[in-house]
Structure 1
Amino acid sequence: MFSALRRAALVAALGVCFSSQTWAAPSTPKPGAVASQHARYLATVFPGRMTGSPAEMLAADYVNQQFSRMGYQSDIRELDIHYPYRHAARQVDWQHVKGHMVIAGKKAASPYQIIVMAHLDTFAPQNDSDTRNNLGGLTYQGLDDNAAGVGVMLELAERLRDVPTDYTVRFIASSGEEEGRFGSINYVEKMSARDRVNTLLVINLDNLIVGDKLYFNSGKSTPAAVVKLTRDRALAIAAHKGIRAATSPGLNAKYPKGTGCCNDAESFDQYGVPVLTVEATNWSLGKHDGYQQVARSKAFPDGNAWHNPKLDNIAHIDSALPGRVEKRSRDVVNVLLPLITELAQSKRQ
């Protein structure tokens, strides 16, 4: 029943939204500039944004203030999160923390909505191996994972705030992603069945900087018609603007061509809500599962910067990948801004 209702909703809502209309970005500041500024601020001022930490709480307050300043209705949702810390001796210590996620939106008359989200939290050690290898922790800036994603979301909100839309545009800075997508699961499970049907698309921003390529992927349950109107449209916009972008090549049987994995979008995908994941990695390297971001080098010995305070920080990324933060932020904004505008203004086409 859900799929039938969604197909009907999508035909009505998105069927003609991709005309030849072009979207004119504001002349100043340049696309991506605001996003990179937010990303650098979050990474510098709020390192160690582990779920339930003071840094996460303060970062959530910062993001909430930004949305409120823009004129959005914005609130912080607290949620109880319990996750295991596993010792080498098979002993398990359960961590009980209170996560903080920010939910903002611009309400429209239509019941349909588009969600843009990025996780606010950084990696917390979850076993003795993580601790020995100094993964995550209080000094971890998490510029790539995922201050940059939050920064892009904030810039998109800034540029969309005065754009008339026919559908509600909602923004979520989620919590608990690193421990198992707790925030996104909490959000989708609290949605009514009708709200899920009326959610035309969830766009998830995660790990936008370090990877070789920018990828746009759909969910395994996203209908083919929606894939064409969202993922394929994003790739077409990127090509038109000369932005290098791709979709998962499907070299690993566990991850079908054109689909993503293992981020907050998966929570919605499991409920049949259409998703579009935006990430930077290299699905052609390693185990072809998206976890190897770049070729192994002195700068990135394991081919990624995942959860490593020495690698996923401003100084190292600026040195190893000069100009990448600003360029990738600009590229993502330049693709998603016209895409979201077209989707949210579909009745006007």
Structure 2
Amino acid sequence: MKKILSCFLVCAFLCTGLYGCGSKKTELIEEAKDLTLSQEISITPEQNDYGIPAYNFLKHIQSNYPGRVAGTEKETEMAVFILSVLLNGGYAESDIAIESFEIDDSTPMMDEAIQNVFDGGEKSNSSQNILITKKGESEKTIIVGAHYDSAGTHGVDDNGSGVSVALENALRMVNTPTYYTIQYVFFGSEEPGMYGSRAYVESLSEKERENIILMINIDTVLAGDYLYLYGGKVNDNGTVDNTEAVFKAYEIVKEIGLNIQLPPDGNNDYPYPTGQKRSDHAPFNDIGIPYIYFEANNWENGSPVETEKNGLIMHTDMDDLDFIENEYSGRVQNTLSSYSILLYSLLQENNWEQ
């Protein structure tokens, strides 16, 4: 997941404007139109099949897009797949934007014992965010974010799972009236230093920043022993504020009866209820935008170990759908379902503004 580099985010976008290069958008859109999707992953989600479309997306990602290292051909192929799902799911080209940015040659953090690193193909110094805007009654906006690059593995836990939950939700919401505008952002190149989310935040105008009332980040929600919500900004004195959104989300969790929890209190390194710091919500948090972070992990011993049985799944060759399903029967479907139900419920709320 998330090695924060000390390097300064590369400054310039490849093209002018918030939405990046028109020619790149055209190129990727045309490739997406030519991509043939199986019936299994092009069916509109039904009312009560939460998590099933996400699972079908995840199986497709497992089979077709391993090794999505930042800047590689395979990362771009994943971007085309995401666009194809959205276009087939009812979004118009006018709803979609591509934001291009530069990256350096950094390598994502990996388990040194890893045996199965996939070749992502030719590597470049550029990547892209995919932005989909679903208009609501209000200009006030909720960002739903998930990064689609990986650390060189199959990357179904980190972060095919987040992409799949976000894609399922985007298809559910395409014709669903909402009070808030929803913008889905599939971030490129998170692994080597959150390049995509930093590029997105740096591109925002003052008005656009003011309109964002909440960021929901979905990262690594597949293999962990427990399902968590995090939120809040840590101050210099160690206190935490800006927690209203995550506590509101937790009240919704309890009302629905989902098996999702806040992290344990009392950890000085990860002040309650903030949890992990190293993901795409961080740049939003840095400018004061409230966030809710979905992550499956295990904090029972005071630090994030992901699973008691196998330790970290992310960034290892255990980040493989076949392995996870064999080791943890039923976990994949249950986790995807729980987070899919929660995300849909959160986006139906019309009183997120503080």
TM-score between the two structures when normalised by the length of structure 2: 0.75
- Of residues 280, 300, 312, the one that matches 1:264 is 280
Aligned 1:18-167 pairs, distance under 5 A = 28=47, 30-72=49-91, 73-84=95-106, 97-108=125-136, 110-123=138-151, 137=152, 140-167=153-180
Deviates more, 1:320-329 or 1:158-167: 158-167
Do the aligned partners of 1:80 and 1:99 also contact (CA within 8 Å) in 2? yes
Give the letter aligned to residue 324 of structure 1: R
Give the letter aligned to residue 278 of structure 1: F
Q: How many Å apart are 1:77 and its aligned residue?
A: 2.6
Q: How many Å apart are 1:235 and its aligned residue?
A: 1.9
The count of aligned residue pairs is 288
Q: Deviations over 1:3-52 (max 9, x none)?
A: xxxxxxxxxxxxxxxxxxxxxxx855511101111122112211111111
1:212 paired residue number: 225
Do the aligned partners of 1:48 and 1:55 also contact (CA within 8 Å) in 2? yes
Do the aligned partners of 2:147 and 2:188 also contact (CA within 8 Å) in 1? yes
Output the CA distance in 2 between the equivalents of 1:278 and 1:85. 25
Do the aligned partners of 1:233 and 1:339 also contact (CA within 8 Å) in 2? no
- Of residues 292, 295, 298, the one that matches 1:282 is 298
Output the CA distance in 1 between the equivalents of 2:283 and 2:307. 27
2:183 paired residue number: 170
Q: Deviations over 1:285-334 (max 9, x none)?
A: 3xx342x1121x3xx1xx1112112x110110010011211110100011
1:235 paired residue number: 250
Q: How many Å apart are 1:83 and its aligned residue?
A: 4.0
The sequence identity of aligned pairs, in percent, is 30
Distance 1:201 1:224, change over 3 A: farther
Do the aligned partners of 2:154 and 2:320 also contact (CA within 8 Å) in 1? yes
Distance 1:84 1:158, change over 3 A: closer
- Helix, strand or coil for the counterpart of 1:82? coil
Do the aligned partners of 1:64 and 1:76 also contact (CA within 8 Å) in 2? no
Unpaired stretches in structure 1, ≥5 consecutive residues: 1-25, 87-94, 124-136
- Helix, strand or coil for the counterpart of 1:273? coil
Q: How many Å apart are 1:247 and its aligned residue?
A: 1.3
Do the aligned partners of 2:107 and 2:192 also contact (CA within 8 Å) in 1? no
Output the CA distance in 2 between the equivalents of 1:113 and 1:154. 18
Output the CA distance in 2 between the equivalents of 1:184 and 1:154. 18
- Of residues 321, 336, 350, the one that matches 1:329 is 336
Give the letter aligned to residue 51 of structure 2: G
Do the aligned partners of 2:214 and 2:352 also contact (CA within 8 Å) in 1? no
Output the CA distance in 1 between the equivalents of 2:198 and 2:265. 26
- Helix, strand or coil for the counterpart of 2:287? coil
Q: Deviations over 1:100-151 (max 9, x none)?
A: 321111134533100001010001xxxxxxxxxxxxx3xx111100001100
- Of residues 307, 318, 326, the one that matches 2:315 is 307
- Of residues 245, 248, 271, the one that matches 2:263 is 248
Do the aligned partners of 1:220 and 1:259 also contact (CA within 8 Å) in 2? yes
Q: How many Å apart are 1:338 and its aligned residue?
A: 1.2
- Helix, strand or coil for the counterpart of 1:152? helix
Give the letter aligned to residue 239 of structure 1: K
Do the aligned partners of 2:147 and 2:159 also contact (CA within 8 Å) in 1? yes
Output the CA distance in 2 between the equivalents of 1:254 and 1:109. 40
- Helix, strand or coil for the counterpart of 2:233? coil
Output the CA distance in 2 between the equivalents of 1:274 and 1:59. 28
Distance 1:108 1:339, change over 3 A: closer
Q: Deviations over 1:193-231 (max 9, x none)?
A: 221121010000011011111111113169989633x32
TM-score between the two structures when normalised by the length of structure 1: 0.76
Give the letter aligned to residue 324 of structure 2: I
